[in-house]
């Protein structure tokens, strides 16, 4: 029986290993983590992450060929294939702070593998890492190897949160990078054999190590760039009377461009896009390519501009002040069908509104009050993002209440901000919401999910990203 151990029981390690266990009954999969509470949650009825379909897969396999354990060293030493799926966040201090990936967790995992291994291993980079990380990992492993052989593979993960199980069951591609030596090719084949249990062979592609590492950063940069492109268009649409949904539809019908990932929004969030682009920017700078670095930096700048623009539009529409006004925030997660708030645009928008002394009433079906309070009181790293440079005093969070119902959040509010595209926000009783709000009642739709005409008929003043402006908003000062 092939034994797989995955270091890191997070958003990637947990679901990915659960699907491998489900699809490969003859493989034993153990997921380990330094966080004992996270492991306990994986072993309970309340999994540590919310992901549609995940509960069922875990419940089917747990205790059979899928295990979650805090006994890291035992399972690492017994495994044939070790996936490393630890976090690789942006460095907050020291060399490369605000851009470079922090490989502390990766390095300590690699040192531990070298310390406890007694037999040859295939070590798989599942985390997103800078190009050439495999070389550094190889050095750590082999310098401490005591004669044990390691093959490093890069097998980046392309799942998106909210659709992780679907993406893992039916991946568009599985990418495996390895050394071009006979041993490297043998290791690639061993990992291919695992995926081939359910992924058609023509979707499993192999490359050299550096191409696999860079492809992951490139894919995320391209995806984020599409969103910044359509968001840049949304600003122009508002200035000209064009409708960004119509523009996206027309543009996306060109098969060379394609229709997906062209929804204008208040900005992209999530733990990957910004982090991975910053990482790419840093790598370009380190390789003497400042023009390339600046090109990608612009994707993040437009994303920050979009979040700023949204806040400015809201404040200027409401007579240039939201001081003391109740603003309902519908949605805090960075996208629907997840409780993840890492880099969610809601943090920046809420901080912007708090900076203008608004009182926020926040509702998200999957995000806890604790998480929201923590997110709003935490300081982010200071890169050249204008929005991140606004200091927020710790007392601001007292202006925040978190409620468990959209109607409660909107009661007596002056304005409603939709920041996550949860399906339930599409079918709310907006007449009821209008009746219980202060007048004039505003809706600022950062996800373009409401029926603008219907809401205007009810009496709302509606702002929807990139849509022709409400006559009310046209009369307000221009927003830059
Ligand atoms: P996460 O923070 O949810 O999980 C990482 C886990 O690793 C944590 O539970 C942490 O306790 C554990 N860990 C850290 N150091 C450890 C160590 N030395 N030993 C054992 N456990 C350790 O992160 P994530 O979202 O799962 O992302 C993991 C990696 O995958 C990142 O590099 C990320 O960029 C990449 N990725 C994430 C996504 C996504 O959608 N979240 C998608 C593709 C790729
Ligand atoms: C992303 C990549 O899609 C995935 O392949 C990679 O493995 C991890 O990073 P994720 O961040 O989980 O996945 O979600 P994604 O669906 O890509 O959305 C990212 C952000 O972009 C969200 O805030 C989302 O709301 C936003 N978005 C997405 C838009 O604003 N408009 C779009 O058209 C699509």
* Mean pLDDT value across residues 400-426: 98
- Ligand 2 atom closest to the Cα of residue 262 is 33
pLDDT tens digit string along 243-258? 999 999 999 999 999 9
What is residue 337's predicted lDDT score, i.e. its pLDDT? Answer: 97
What is residue 477's predicted lDDT score, i.e. its pLDDT? Answer: 64
Which residues are designated catalytic? Answer: 272
Atom 20, ligand 1: which residue's CA is nearest? Answer: 33
> Residue 86 pLDDT more than 80?
yes
Determine the Cα–Cα distance for residues 476 and 319; give it in Å rounded to an integer: 8
pLDDT tens digit string along 155-194? 999 999 999 999 999 999 999 999 999 999 999 999 999 9
267 lines ligand 1 (CB under 6 A): no
pLDDT tens digit string along 364-399? 999 999 999 999 997 765 444 444 444 555 544 789
Please say whether the beta carbons of 462 and 455 come within 8 A.
Answer: yes
> Residue 106 pLDDT more than 80?
yes
Q: Ligand 2 centroid to 252 CA: how many Å?
A: 17
Instruction: Locate 314 and state its tokens.
Output: 């809201």
466 lines ligand 2 (CB under 6 A): no
pLDDT tens digit string along 109-149? 999 999 999 999 999 999 999 999 999 999 999 887 678 99
Q: Ligand 1 centroid to 85 CA: how many Å?
A: 5
227 lines ligand 2 (CB under 6 A): yes
* Mean pLDDT value across residues 190-215: 97
Alpha carbons within 13 A on the beta-carbon side of 336: 13
Of 124, 122, 126, 176, nearest to 149 by C-alpha is: 122
- Ligand 2 atom closest to the Cα of residue 272 is 9
76 lines ligand 1 (CB under 6 A): no
Atom 28, ligand 2: which residue's CA is nearest? Answer: 261
- Ligand 2 atom closest to the Cα of residue 164 is 12
17 lines ligand 1 (CB under 6 A): no
What is residue 23's predicted lDDT score, i.e. its pLDDT? Answer: 98
Enumerate the β-bridge partners of residue 442. 415, 461
335 lines ligand 2 (CB under 6 A): yes
Q: Ligand 2 centroid to 433 CA: how many Å?
A: 30
Atom 25, ligand 1: which residue's CA is nearest? Answer: 11
pLDDT tens digit string along 91-103? 999 999 999 999 9
262 lines ligand 2 (CB under 6 A): yes
Please say whether the beta carbons of 364 and 375 come within 8 A.
Answer: no
407 lines ligand 1 (CB under 6 A): no
Sheet hosting strand 27-32, strand order edge to edge: 66-69, 27-32, 2-7, 81-84, 121-125, 150-154, 174-178, 204-208
What is residue 145's predicted lDDT score, i.e. its pLDDT? Answer: 67
What is residue 387's predicted lDDT score, i.e. its pLDDT? Answer: 43
| Residue of 10, 112, 172, 270 with the most ligand 1 atoms within 8 Å of its CB, for mutation | 10
7 lines ligand 1 (CB under 6 A): yes
Please state, for a pLDDT cut of 70, what percent of the chain lies above it: 95
Q: Ligand 2 centroid to 334 CA: how many Å?
A: 9
Atom 15, ligand 1: which residue's CA is nearest? Answer: 105
> Residue 431 pLDDT more than 80?
yes
> Residue 233 pLDDT more than 90?
yes
> Residue 1 pLDDT more than 80?
yes
Give the mean pLDDT of the chain. Answer: 94
Query: With a threshold of 0.90, does the pTM exceed it?
Result: yes
Q: Ligand 1 centroid to 11 CA: how many Å?
A: 7
Q: Ligand 1 centroid to 377 CA: how many Å?
A: 23
Please state, for a pLDDT cut of 90, what percent of the chain lies above it: 91
pLDDT tens digit string along 262-271? 999 999 999 9
Atom 18, ligand 1: which residue's CA is nearest? Answer: 109
* CA end-to-end span of the chain: 61
Q: Ligand 1 centroid to 329 CA: how many Å?
A: 29
Q: Ligand 1 centroid to 157 CA: how many Å?
A: 11
pLDDT tens digit string along 274-332? 999 999 999 999 999 999 999 999 999 999 999 999 999 999 999 999 999 999 999 99
| Residue of 6, 9, 11 with the most ligand 1 atoms within 8 Å of its CB, for mutation | 11
Ligand closest to 343 (CA) is: 2
């Amino acid at each position: 029986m092939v034994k797989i151990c995955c270091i890191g029981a997070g958003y990637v390690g947990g679901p990915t290993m659960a699907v491998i266990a489900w699809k490969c009954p003859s493989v034993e999969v153990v997921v380990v983590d330094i966080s004992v509470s996270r492991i306990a949650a994986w072993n309970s009825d309340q999994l540590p992450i919310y992901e549609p379909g995940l509960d069922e897969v875990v419940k089917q396999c747990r205790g059979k060929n899928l295990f979650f354990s805090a006994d890291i060293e035992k399972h690492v030493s017994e495994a044939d294939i070790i996936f490393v799926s630890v976090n690789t966040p942006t460095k907050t201090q020291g060399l490369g702070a605000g851009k470079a990936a922090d490989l502390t967790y990766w390095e300590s995992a690699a040192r531990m593998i070298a310390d406890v291994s007694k037999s040859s291993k295939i070590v798989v980079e599942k985390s997103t890492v800078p190009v050439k990380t495999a070389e550094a990992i190889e050095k750590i492993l082999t310098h401490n190897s005591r004669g044990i052989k390691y093959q490093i593979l890069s097998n980046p993960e392309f799942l998106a949160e909210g659709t992780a199980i679907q993406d893992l069951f039916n991946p568009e591609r599985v990418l495996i990078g390895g050394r071009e030596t006979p041993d490297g090719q043998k290791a690639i084949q061993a990992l291919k054999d695992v995926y081939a249990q359910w992924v058609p062979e023509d979707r499993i592609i192999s490359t050299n190590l550096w191409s696999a590492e860079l492809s992951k950063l490139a894919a995320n940069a391209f995806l984020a760039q599409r969103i910044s492109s359509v968001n840049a268009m949304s600003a122009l649409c508002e200035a000209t009377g064009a409708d960004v949904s119509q523009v996206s539809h027309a543009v996306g019908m060109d098969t060379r461009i394609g229709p997906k990932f062209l929804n204008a929004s208040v900005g992209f969030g999530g733990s990957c896009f910004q982090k991975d682009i910053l990482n790419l920017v840093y790598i370009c700078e380190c390789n003497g390519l400042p023009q390339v670095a600046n090109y990608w930096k612009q994707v993040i700048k437009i994303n920050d501009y979009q979040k700023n623009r949204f806040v400015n539009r809201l404040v200027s529409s409401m007579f240039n002040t939201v001081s003391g006004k109740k603003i309902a925030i519908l949605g805090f997660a960075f996208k629907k069908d997840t409780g993840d708030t890492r880099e969610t645009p809601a943090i920046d928008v809420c901080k912007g509104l708090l900076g203008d002394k608004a009182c926020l009433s926040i509702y998200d079906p999957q995000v806890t009050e604790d998480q929201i309070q923590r997110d709003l009181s935490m300081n982010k790293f200071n890169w050249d993002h204008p929005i991140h440079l606004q200091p927020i005093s710790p007392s601001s969070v007292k202006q925040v209440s978190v409620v468990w119902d959209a109607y409660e959040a909107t009661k007596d509010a002056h304005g409603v901000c939709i920041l996550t595209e949860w399906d339930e926000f599409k079918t709310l009783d907006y007449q009821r919401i209008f009746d219980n709000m202060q007048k004039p009642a505003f809706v600022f739709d950062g996800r373009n999910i409401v029926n603008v005409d219907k809401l205007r008929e009810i009496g709302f003043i509606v702002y929807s990203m990139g849509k022709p402006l409400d006559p009310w908003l046209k009369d307000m000062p221009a927003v830059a």
